[in-house]
Amino acid sequence: MSAQKARKLAAGNWKMNGIKASLAEATALAEMFPEPKVDILLCPPATLVAPMAAALFGSKVDVGGQDCHMKASGAHTGDISAEMLVDAGADYVILGHSERRADHGETDHIVAEKTIAATMAGLAPVVCVGETLEQREAGETLGVIRKQLSASLPDAVDLEKLVIAYEPVWAIGTGKIPTLEQIAEVHDDMRATLVDRYGDGANGIPLLYGGSVKPGNAAEIFATSNVDGALVGGASLKAADFSGIVKALEEA
């Protein structure tokens, strides 16, 4: 029997960008893809999750958060819970992005706790992993990714919902990307690691590549082994750019 194929997902991470006027980009994107052949996701800042979900209601573009707290509620000023994201209309949440690991000291353990919270609330967690330039140059990439996967994911995951994003830290927002061979090496290793831990069902986990994906390089990245889509920062802010990436994924 052939292994289950992962669904394809084009995910946009708006980071700390966007005000209400920016929702026009989200609705423009939805209008371009009334019947997309792949899943499409936009993760705006927390202030825009509810209004974006309302603006995209009835469309084929999903909405996600960029982080959630590991606890369901309580005295955590400035944080939001997974349940709040669901209440605002989100279906997904990005967890363990390297900017959160760097800016907020998020450890693998914290990411695993957040993954549990997101899963319990019914969200699809997009768990991010990736090596620094120093780690790549020291030949440590596969070891770093295996350790991050091992410690950032709990034993109990919903294989139907879990998404993994491989984002080399040095490729995010820099215009630099690994070679296609380097991407394939990591993605093949991640697939094997996940199947080893969770069984054959892990063949269905979408493995996204992230880091300077643009309309011009998306097709070759999507043709790479075990790449099932992308997590896109800068090029997801404008429908004109992101639509080129979505089209490339549809054609992959």
**Positions marked active-site:** 97, 167
Q: Classify residue 5 as exposed, middle or buried by CB count within 10 Å of its CB (0-12, 13-18, 19+).
A: exposed
User: Nearest approach, Cβ of 161 to ligand PEP (angstroms)?
Assistant: 19
Q: Does 232 engage in binding with ligand PEP (CB under 6 A)? A: yes
Q: Does 233 engage in binding with ligand PEP (CB under 6 A)? A: yes
Inter-axis angle of helices 141-152 and 108-121, nearest 10: 50
Q: Does 65 engage in binding with ligand PEP (CB under 6 A)? A: no
At 14, is the secondary structure helix, strand, or coil? Answer: coil
Contact range with ligand PEP by CB under 6 A, out of 56-64, 110-118, 140-148, 225-233:
225-233
Closer to ligand PEP at the Cβ: 84 or 232? 232
Question: Nearest-5° angle of CA 156, CA 161, CA 162?
Answer: 65
- End-to-end, the C-alpha distance of the chain in Å comes to 23
Within 10-39, the residues that bind ligand PEP by CB under 6 A are 13, 15
CA dihedral sign of residues 39, 247, 15, 99: positive
Contact range with ligand PEP by CB under 6 A, out of 108-116, 150-158, 187-195, 229-237:
229-237
Q: Does 211 engage in binding with ligand PEP (CB under 6 A)? A: yes
User: What stretches of 203-244 adopt beta strand conformation (E)?
Assistant: 207-210, 229-232
Closer to ligand PEP at the Cβ: 76 or 104? 104
Contact range with ligand PEP by CB under 6 A, out of 179-187, 196-204, 217-225, 230-238:
230-238
Query: Which H or E element spans position 125?
Result: strand 124-129
User: Nearest approach, Cβ of 164 to ligand PEP (angstroms)?
Assistant: 13
- Applying CB under 6 A, among 38, 145, 183, 231 the residue interacting with ligand PEP is 231
Closer to ligand PEP at the Cβ: 55 or 245? 245
Within 155-184, the residues that bind ligand PEP by CB under 6 A are 167, 172-173
Q: In angstroms, what CA-CA distances link 96 with 12, 21, 132, 167?
A: 15, 28, 14, 11
Q: Does 213 engage in binding with ligand PEP (CB under 6 A)? A: yes
Would you say 40 and 32 are in contact if contact means Cβ atoms under 8 Å apart? no
**Cα–Cα distance for residue pair 159/124, rounded to 1 Å:** 10
At 135, is the secondary structure helix, strand, or coil? Answer: helix
Closer to ligand PEP at the Cβ: 76 or 176? 176
CB atoms under 10 Å from CB of 174, counted, come to 12
Interface residues with ligand PEP (CB under 6 A) are 13, 15, 167, 172-173, 210-213, 231-235
